[in-house]
Structure 1
């Protein structure tokens, strides 16, 4: 079981962590966050089973965090541990699906009793549609880009998530079948028809169904790889080539993502991973490299260099050039012995 403890006071946060560490059976993972914003980032990166949260915190308070968890992650159990006994706080928290509202200071016995009650509660078998659509979006992008290592990592997280929501075998099969149908439809729209069997429908257990479905995802990627054999262009190389040939144009990330067939969000993440630069940083650096090449040609005016690398605003070009190169365009040219 994975727990997230959210409190802006370090001493209290550490105290609750120690109480959680003493609990048996031991938690598989204990994470902390000092405000609602940080907690939400951790939840989205790796969903906990249980969140223990304070009410009053900077950036995002506990009640707002509970509301978001209730709407977007209803399978996560929440407990409020607060120094405020105000009835309005307690009532609001219960409306947001909070299981317990505990008043500080809490003792180890208080926390352990609460945990005993929660763990005995039957979990609701439910996966919000928005969540599995999010998973499908990522699967589609990584299969289409043939990012096999990332796909493997995604599949592992998907497996853990499917098992954590505790769906019945029949419910899980129905969910996996919906996912399969949606993925196939999306790939057919891209002129690729995956040819895999729906063997997960014959599974005798939840784990077997998930593992069989995941093998099918790998088969989809390998099938696409075989179809593209010999003619596949790496989407990041295509993107870089597209940007490099249009340095004078004001192209957007969305345009380049659409050109290589990826969503802007996934393209942005993958581009940074491959190039170690953001889309904007890459384009600026390429523009400055081209500017340096052009400045080495004596008869080309600096104002024309600016225009050719996409800067109609000459002062903005000189400011950017100096920031990247360390000297102004005229100083750079003088350093080459060109007047």
Structure 2
């Protein structure tokens, strides 16, 4: 399953490429569109694509600069340049940034299929070059599962250290490392669930990591979280720690509750809890708390008997101007404007 991003500022061409790629017969995990290079770069950081189709001339950031930045960020992303005849010499400069194919507008179905076949072949070759022994992954997963099940934190850390040292010696590219760590995590979760005592949910998310160090931090935190999760389950606290944290935040929206306070409340290390919360909600602790405060503020603003200055305190903002600024950032309206929109004067 391949993730593909198309960047072109011309809507007709963008939609046309989307249709041709969709009809190519290649299995797609996602197919996203961007109308300029800057937006494309933002989406790449949000979720790494396997293949990028990009125009040369685009506003905000042109295709040449996009190719340069992508090649520095992750050279494993396969790039296809799509441009008009007059841009051919300009497009040739992209070759130094690892561009694998050049398509001339108007693009035909045959040309897109041919380019995708080439990219798929290169992708498969990359993965074969980064081969990591399945037997070795199985061995690590068995050791990690035993350490977690027996609540041996030092043993778990030793397994992670061994895995990190050996995998680092392979000098894997980021995309390959993400695949290997993802497979390790899936194997581990599978082995824990085979015991059929507690249910363990896969929480590792690596699709948006910016580098190897971040990938390792998330991976190691996810294993530590499994151990902490098992401790909680054995104490009879079967409630999901993230759901418990959400409820605590909800009950204390008017207070300046910290991440550390909530982590202590549910019995988790603060750094592990931070990783767990982000992976489960796709928001940081602060982002989630702010969003819930604004949602509560909107409900209170819909009730005429509440004064706006009182509402800011009700949702945890002692500083009224700060509440007003935050509310507008999230909703596009000042609190008074939002209330006026509801027909309340």
Length-normalised TM-score, structure 2:
0.52
Q: Which residue of 2 aligns with 1:57?
A: 58
Q: Which residue of 2 aligns with 1:147?
A: none
Q: Which residue of 2 aligns with 1:278?
A: 288
Deviation at 1:79, TM superposition (A): 1.0
Deviation at 1:80, TM superposition (A): 0.4
Q: Is the counterpart of residue 216 in structure 1 residue 188 in structure 2?
A: yes
Alignment map for 1:69-80 (pairs within 5 Å) = 69-80=70-81
8 Å contact kept, 1:52–1:79: yes
**Closer, same or farther in 2 for the Cα pair 1:211/1:283, shift >3 Å?**
closer
8 Å contact kept, 2:56–2:87: no
Secondary structure at the counterpart of residue 59 of structure 2 = coil
User: Which is greater in Rg?
Assistant: 1
8 Å contact kept, 1:187–1:193: no
Q: Which residue of 2 aligns with 1:161?
A: none
Q: Which moved more, 1:262-271 or 1:170-179?
A: 170-179
Deviation at 1:52, TM superposition (A): 1.8
Q: Which residue of 2 aligns with 1:33?
A: 33
Mapped partners of 2:312, 2:109: distance in 1: 67
Q: Which residue of 2 aligns with 1:14?
A: 15
Runs (5+) with no aligned partner, structure 1:
126-164, 201-206, 297-301, 332-339
Q: Which residue of 2 aligns with 1:104?
A: 105
Mapped partners of 2:21, 2:315: distance in 1: 58
Q: Which residue of 2 aligns with 1:204?
A: none
Deviation at 1:87, TM superposition (A): 3.4
Mapped partners of 1:99, 1:60: distance in 2: 20
The number of residues matched between the two structures is 271
Q: Which moved more, 1:113-122 or 1:302-311?
A: 302-311
Alignment map for 1:318-329 (pairs within 5 Å) = none
Q: Is the counterpart of residue 87 in structure 1 residue 115 in structure 2?
A: no
Mapped partners of 2:316, 2:116: distance in 1: 60
1:275-328 residue CA offsets vs partner (Å, 9 max, x unmatched): 9x931132356689999xxx99xxxxx99997687554467779989659959x
Deviation at 1:194, TM superposition (A): 5.5
8 Å contact kept, 1:19–1:108: yes
Query: Superposition RMSD on alpha carbons, in Å?
Result: 5.8
Match of 2:254 among 236, 247, 260: 247
Deviation at 1:41, TM superposition (A): 5.7
Alignment map for 1:168-207 (pairs within 5 Å) = 168-170=130-132
Mapped partners of 1:119, 1:288: distance in 2: 49
8 Å contact kept, 2:293–2:315: no
Mapped partners of 1:281, 1:177: distance in 2: 43
Deviation at 1:227, TM superposition (A): 3.1
8 Å contact kept, 1:176–1:213: no
**Closer, same or farther in 2 for the Cα pair 1:288/1:248, shift >3 Å?**
farther
Match of 1:228 among 219, 232, 235: 232
**Closer, same or farther in 2 for the Cα pair 1:280/1:73, shift >3 Å?**
same
Mapped partners of 2:121, 2:253: distance in 1: 61
Secondary structure at the counterpart of residue 247 of structure 1 = coil
Mapped partners of 1:178, 1:243: distance in 2: 40
8 Å contact kept, 2:7–2:33: yes
